[in-house]
Amino acid sequence: MCGIVAYLGSREAYPIIVKGLQRLEYRGYDSAGVALINPKGELNVYKRKGKVSELVAFAKDKDISGHVGIGHTRWATHGEPNDVNSHPHYSQTKDLVIIHNGIIENYNAIKEGLKKRGHTFLSQTDTEVLAHLIEDIQQNENMKLGHAVLAALNQVIGAYAIVVMDKKDPSTLVAAKKGSPLVIGIGAEDFFVASDASPIVEYTKNVVYLEEEQVAIIRLGHELRIRNLKDKEITPYVQKLNIEIESIEKGGYDHFMLKEIYEQPRSVLDSMRGRLHADTGDIKMGGIVDHEKKFEKAKRIIFLACGTSWHAGLVGEYLFEEFARVPVEVEYASEFRYRNPIIYPDDIVIAISQSGETADTLAAIELAKSKGATVLGVCNVVGSSIARATHGGSYTHAGPEIGVASTKAFTAQVTVLTLMALHMAKVRGTLSESRYRALLYEMESIPSKIEVVLKLNDDLRKIAFTYKDSNNALYLGRGVSFPVALEGALKLKEISYIHAEGYPAAEMKHGPIALIDDEMPVFVIATKGANYEKVVSNIQEVKARKGKIIAVVTSGDKDVRAMSDHVIEIPETDEFLVPLIAVIPWQLLSYHIAVMRGCNVDQPRNLAKSVTVE
Ligand code: G6P
């Protein structure tokens, strides 16, 4: 959600900024803009509703020279997506320009004060108010830009990642962060600023992640300086990026989503590597080792998450209850944070987030912490806000996920939650040794079983062709496969815009059955296990109403095949590990249907990869 790129150095800024904005397109946005100071000291700002490509077409014949500049992709919050509301925004004199991710909550009060002092505003945004406020302070207090930014941010309530540029001082950029990530790349003779490392990685591996309420003063020919909002100098902590450029490029695939679906044997393996030791019966998870006693005594687990991560939490509910015999609640972070939730000292709260930046999840964590809870994180992005806000936890090692619709992050989350649940079971002695060991060996075999399912891609493409023009779809599953039904439906609606619902199969007769006719595709997980016969009955209920059945079955199944329109055979596994394999066909089907419908698979309309506003 919203992307920031800025450059200061001796190279041409515009191509670096545009390429960086394109790398951030995956975050979701609806307009784009850039500001550059040319060698004559003139400030040029170009902004466009729509994609970065539309901004590039617009700026084609314009002056795009300059060695310093800032660029932004905006996901509208205050004010509709249009050229005027796009960033960068000017100050009153038009000497300053600002780009901003986040929300300034008290912008209205500040705006009214500034209006009384003669300021006029062009846009409806909260961001423009901040640009005016910084300049107002700069002029009235006769402050340098860095100090003016610091003083302005002390008046602001809300979240921000900002970069400010001043026409009068083209060798300086000022950046600041609170609640929204910002990373500064330090090159040999230049600086890069971005909302994540993807625009920076091809230029330098030396980066500084700004911490909460820090202001960076970036000056050409000088060391990076950082101050906190109390004006205390902080020594920058320079880290080495450990991502490679290949991991954020498509690598021959048509879309990031397809690449990421195909990466799952690897990402599941990477999420288990060094942790799962089937031969010795050990699960070693460094980030939870300090909380072992809590695991032993826990009376309840509470999962906090949003979107696909919430579905992973639902899978976790079945796993923790079955393996570790501990009650589990799975909470939408956005609901949890606005209740007055009851948290007991023996509860463990586990926040699940791919990006580690989801605003609601972050706020829910803070609430849980304020009530004395131990909060663990399951995050994919190393060093993200959620990873830092939690007391411990485990990273999913899925690698960067660029496609907005989450795929490999989901299976990596389920992998880590499975390991956690098994580890907790061992600590609490709730599983027999033989079942525990069998599950560990079975986990080891999951990556190769995912490989087998990926080989069904051509068959899935054919099924997708049959249902690509559907207006509705129903996904069913029971037990631990119910959350997979929810995830299947979410994938389809996110990228193909077909209305889809996921349901526990038995609940179908309490409503959705009314929708079933001979045009309705019903996607069912009917793998072998305790609920198999029950799901078979649910399939018959659909067939009796002429619905179309597309069933995921255990390899060799004949009964469901006989009553289905299409079957997808997946390798046999323990029934509690089925989600890791059964979700793959639903991902591929959604992908193909969306491609056939001409949808933008990697950047579906209105969606954002990282939802940094509540
Ligand atoms: C957005 C994304 C989803 C994601 C959800 C939660 O809606 O489009 O794919 O599941 O946010 O994000 P998180 O980064 O916290 O897992």
Question: Could you tell me the distance, in angstroms and rounded to a whole number, from the CA of residue 385 to the centre of ligand 1?
Answer: 14
Going by pLDDT thresholds of 50, 70 and 90, the confidence category of residue 611 is confident
pLDDT single digits (tens) 407-430: 999 999 999 999 999 999 999 999
pLDDT single digits (tens) 112-137: 999 999 999 999 999 999 999 999 99
Buried b / exposed e along 28-43 (16+ C-beta atoms within 10 A): bbbbbbbbbbbeeeeb
- Select the more confidently predicted residue: 1 or 65: 65
Question: Could you tell me the distance, in angstroms and rounded to a whole number, from the CA of residue 354 to the centre of ligand 1?
Answer: 7
Q: Is the pLDDT of residue 180 over 90?
A: no
Report the C-alpha gap between 581 and 455 in whole angstroms. 12
Q: Is 529 in the pocket of ligand 1 (CB under 6 A)?
A: no
Question: Could you tell me the distance, in angstroms and rounded to a whole number, from the CA of residue 78 to the centre of ligand 1?
Answer: 21
Q: Is 386 in the pocket of ligand 1 (CB under 6 A)?
A: no
| 356 Cβ contact list (under 8 Å, min separation 6) | 377, 379, 380, 381, 384, 385, 386, 387
pLDDT of residue 164: 98
The per-residue pLDDT of the chain, averaged, comes to 95
pLDDT single digits (tens) 215-258: 999 999 999 999 999 999 999 999 998 888 888 888 899 999 99
Report the C-alpha gap between 97 and 182 in whole angstroms. 18
* Domain spanning 3-247: CATH superfamily: Aminohydrolase, N-terminal nucleophile (Ntn) domain (3.60.20.10)
Q: Is 214 in the pocket of ligand 1 (CB under 6 A)?
A: no
pLDDT single digits (tens) 544-575: 999 999 999 999 999 999 999 999 999 999 99
Examine the residue annotation and report whether 371 is marked as an active-site residue of this protein. no
Q: Is 181 in the pocket of ligand 1 (CB under 6 A)?
A: no
pLDDT of residue 246: 84
Share of the chain above pLDDT 70, in %: 100
**Residues 114 and 129 sit within 8 Å (Cβ to Cβ):** yes
pLDDT single digits (tens) 144-164: 999 999 999 999 999 899 999
pLDDT single digits (tens) 374-418: 999 999 998 888 999 999 999 999 999 999 999 999 999 999 999
Reduce the secondary structure of 226-245 to three states and give it as a string.
EEECCCCEECCCCEECCCCH
Reduce the secondary structure of 113-150 to three states and give it as a string.
HHHHCCCCCCCCCHHHHHHHHHHHHHHHCCCCHHHHHH
Q: Per-domain residue ranges for the chain?
A: 3-247, 251-454, 456-601
Give me the sign of the Cα torsion angle 450, 456, 458, 460.
negative
pLDDT of residue 156: 95
pLDDT single digits (tens) 338-348: 999 999 989 99
Among 256, 314, 358, residue to substitute to test ligand 1 (most atoms within 8 Å of Cβ): 358
Written as six digits, the tokens of 488 are: 């299947």
Q: Is the pLDDT of residue 110 over 90?
A: yes
pLDDT of residue 432: 97
Q: What is the pTM of this model?
A: 0.87
Q: Is 407 in the pocket of ligand 1 (CB under 6 A)?
A: no
Please tell me the residue having the least CA distance from ligand 1 atom 4.
Answer: 307
Q: Are strands 43-49 and 31-37 parallel, antiparallel or unpaired?
A: antiparallel
Q: Do domains 3-247 and 251-454 have the same CATH topology?
A: no
Residue 282 has phi, psi (to 5 degrees) of -105, 145
CATH topology of domain 251-454: Rossmann fold (3.40.50)
pLDDT of residue 555: 97
Written as six digits, the tokens of 363 are: 């706020």
Q: Is the pLDDT of residue 474 over 90?
A: yes
pLDDT single digits (tens) 18-65: 999 999 988 888 999 999 999 999 999 999 999 999 999 999 999 999
Going by pLDDT thresholds of 50, 70 and 90, the confidence category of residue 473 is very high
**Per the residue annotation, which of 51, 426, 548, 609 is the catalytic one?**
609
Q: Is 308 in the pocket of ligand 1 (CB under 6 A)?
A: yes
Domain 456-601 has CATH 3.40.50.300: no
Among 75, 355, 384, 410, residue to substitute to test ligand 1 (most atoms within 8 Å of Cβ): 355
Going by pLDDT thresholds of 50, 70 and 90, the confidence category of residue 16 is very high
pLDDT single digits (tens) 285-318: 989 888 989 999 999 999 999 999 999 999 999 9
**Residues 551 and 536 sit within 8 Å (Cβ to Cβ):** no
Going by pLDDT thresholds of 50, 70 and 90, the confidence category of residue 179 is confident
Examine the residue annotation and report whether 493 is marked as an active-site residue of this protein. no
pLDDT of residue 361: 96
pLDDT of residue 183: 95
Q: Is the pLDDT of residue 93 over 90?
A: yes
Q: Is 309 in the pocket of ligand 1 (CB under 6 A)?
A: yes
